[in-house]
Structure formats: structure tokens, C-alpha cells
Structure 1
């Protein structure tokens, strides 16, 4: 199937590794020009961009700090200068907070600064960047937003209260944004909700907790990053003409 991505420009935030890397690779394989944002892993992102270019594609690695209120505007400007267009935004970057989720710590014991940072950074980071690219898509009368959520938003887990709350906010935003954007052209907004997925950056977590998810999954295993990336690429492509305002769960059936 031709996904109609040749010559289109795709921004994938948090693309230096993990699921973001698989998503960016999927778009590049379809002929899209890909913008790979990173926060701290500059060397990894630049190596990945070079890998794409050596394969005949076009890629730009650039820093993006979703906690910085000015970063979204700067990123959008840099992408427009590089390619002249923005066709797809994949909000994949995530801020985990200063400490790992602790299922044994009551959520009310989490310091105010810590839980506020998780909420504000994840919600505002995704919304700010969506706000910046939306006018470009409206002018083009074409665009795709794909927001990466988490099964924690609906399944829940002790210790993940604030992260799950931030991801849940994407669901409400994307649903309403689909109505607003759809009035101005072929512009779609969707959420992809993965479960625990095996990537190149979470081997320790997947090995430690994967059996819990695998035991519940009809497939009896964790999904690989490429298996989640496939639906993301489709939703962000020209081949998707009718799916918008939806939350697509990609968990292997959990």
C-alpha cells in the first residue's frame, strides 16, 4: 500500500531512541522527510539522522525541550526553514519526572513540585507544539496529529497517577481538536495508546515486568516497537482518510 508520504515532512518528538526512533524509521521508509527531536541524546539523534540519509532519505536532528515555553515556536520555525512545510506531528516525547514511579508511595506523598512538573511538562509540551503546527496545517488544508499516550491512562497502576493523568489529557484534547481541525481541510487528530512495549531503550523494564503483561495478552508476549510504530505511521499518512478523533489501543490485546 502506498501511504502517500513521499515529500511530506514529519516531526517526531523524542526520536533519538525507543518508540520514537521506530516511528521515525517507519515514516522515513515511506519517503517522508523526518525531523528527529531529542532532549539530551544529541549524538544518538545525529547518528540516526545520518543513518536515514545514508539510506536515501532526508532527516533533521534538532533539540527540543518540551518544558521550555519557547521551544515549540523555535522548533516549528526551524522545520519550516528546513522544508517549508509541516505535514505530520507525532507527539511522542515524554517527561517522566525526577524520580521513577513508586507503587509503594501514596500519591498524596509525592511533593508538589514533582507531580506538577509531570503534569505541566507532558500536557503543556504536547499542546504547545500542536498549537504551533495547527496554523501551518490549516494553511495547507492537510495535516495529521498523532499523540502517543499509554495504557496507564485507562488501565492505571499505583505510582503512575500523575503520568496517567497527563496522558489522559491528550485523549480529551485530541478528540476536540479533531472537530476544530476537520473544518479547515483534510486534517486529522488521533491518539495511539501502547502498552508496555519492548524497545531499544527499555530492555531492563521489559525483562523485569514484561511477564506480567504477557500473561494477560492474547498474543502471550510484549509487542516490539515496530509493531506499535506501524499503526502510528498509518494514522499519520495520506492513506488514512477517515480515522480521526479516536484512541487506538495497540497493546497486543491486553
Structure 2
């Protein structure tokens, strides 16, 4: 990869699932600020469009919004088809979308919510990666970034999530572990992040630059963004498989 624009990498085409709010929105804004073209999805296309409108309001026009219900295979296929109509390749796929399910009692969640959590997190990640892989393979610097969670680590029970969320995140982790060696011969890097609960101030608000980031403070989305950008900007011989984080407190 030949850096351009004062040593910075040339613009990428980046797909981000679950980009309507929280960390997906944060990542979308920062990729756009780097000059990348961002292709966003959310279960409600109007929510994805709001993020796209925010990005356009910042002066960045290379942004597209799509509907994608990760729990619905037909919706995932339609999303992939829509991406293919916009671009002939993508450089980065960020698997960020997943349904959060709270509860410390297995019986506390309805069957339908449990099924939707597992389907959106595991099945959705598998199908999005499957259907966008042909476009990734057309890039000369393809990366898959998975936002998994410390809930996907064996023995970690500190997140106040339902057992189905833990199970789903372990499914994502297992997929990443298998895909990394399978895709490396094709030049695709699979990069997974396992953050604990973290603070995610509004990247367009004043708290973004004032949130404490000391050794005893809670992990911030700011640091997670830095990790993602660091990993994808490495030379192509550098395969960073995972970021693991200590949990403060």
C-alpha cells in the first residue's frame, strides 16, 4: 500500500453494520473524517440515514445508508446486493451490529428475544461476511473487523448481559478464530476486539475530548477507535488477530 495525502493511507471503502447509534455511529463518523467512503446499515434504514445525514453535515459526501436486519437472511442478502450496486469492491467490513440482551436470569428473556439476539449476532455476522467476501477479495487490502466484547471470552462473567448474549458473542469469537487462518492465504486480515463495558460519549459532543482516559478510568470508545485504525493501517504483513483489554475496577 502506498501512502498518499501526506503519508496517510489512501481512502478506503468501509462497510459498518449497526451504524445507527453507539459505537457503530462513532466509527462511521471517524472513518468519514479520514476521507473514507462509508456504507452504513441498520435494522431501520431511517436510523442509518440519520447517521449518514450527520456525516454529510460534517462535509463528507461519500456515505450510503442501507437497511439490514441481521436476524433475517433475506435482508442480509438484499443488503449485500445493495452494496454491490454501489461499489465493485470494499476494503473493510466492520461487523459491529448485534442485539444487546440484559438479564442475569435465563428465564428473564422471552424466547423471541433470545432467538433474535443469537440470530443477529451469530447468523448475521456469518451471513454478512459470507455475502460481502467476494467484494472484499477484490480489494488489495481487505480487512474484517469484529466488535465482539469481553463477553466472548471464556470465564468472563462481568458484563451484565443475558446468557444468550454471552452465547452469541462466543459464537462470533469462534467464527473469527476459524476465519482468520482460512482467509489469510487470500490476504484478508480478520481483526477482533474484545472490549469490556466502555464509555461511548458522543463523538460530535464536548464530552468526546474531555472524557478521562487515565489508567484507572473506564475504557473509552476513543481508545477503541484508535485500536481499529491502528490495526487496519499496518503493513499487509502484519496480521493483528485480536485486541484484549483489562477491565478497570
Q: TM tier, shorter chain?
A: 0.7 to 0.9
Distance in 1 (alpha carbons) for counterparts of 2:235 and 2:80: 25
Structure 1 residue 84: deviation in Å?
2.3
Decide whether aligned partners of structure 1 residues 45 and 113 sit closer, same or farther in structure 2, where only a CA change above 3 A counts: closer
Secondary structure of the residue that 1:198 maps to in structure 2? coil
Secondary structure of the residue that 2:117 maps to in structure 1? helix
Q: Which structure exhibits the higher relative contact order, with contacts defined as CA atoms closer than 8 Å and separated by 6 or more residues?
A: 1
Count of aligned pairs between the two proteins: 231
State the superposition RMSD in angstroms.
2.7
User: Residue 97 of structure 2 is aligned with which of 85, 90, 93?
Assistant: 93
Look up the match of 2:185: 183
The TM-score with structure 1 as length reference comes to 0.79
Structure 1 residue 192: deviation in Å?
0.8
Structure 1 residue 62: deviation in Å?
1.4
Deviation per residue, 1:180-203 (Å, 9 max, x gap): 21112x2100111122122258xx
Which ranges in structure 2 are unaligned for 5 or more consecutive residues? 1-5, 203-211
Look up the match of 1:77: 81
Does the 8 A contact of 1:13 with 1:93 survive in 2?
yes
The TM-score with structure 2 as length reference comes to 0.80
Distance in 1 (alpha carbons) for counterparts of 2:73 and 2:177: 24
Pairs within 5 Å for 1:212-251: 219-237=215-233, 239=235, 241-244=237-240, 246-250=241-245
Pairs within 5 Å for 1:199-210: 199-200=200-201
Which ranges in structure 1 are unaligned for 5 or more consecutive residues? 202-213
Structure 1 residue 243: deviation in Å?
2.1
Look up the match of 2:205: none
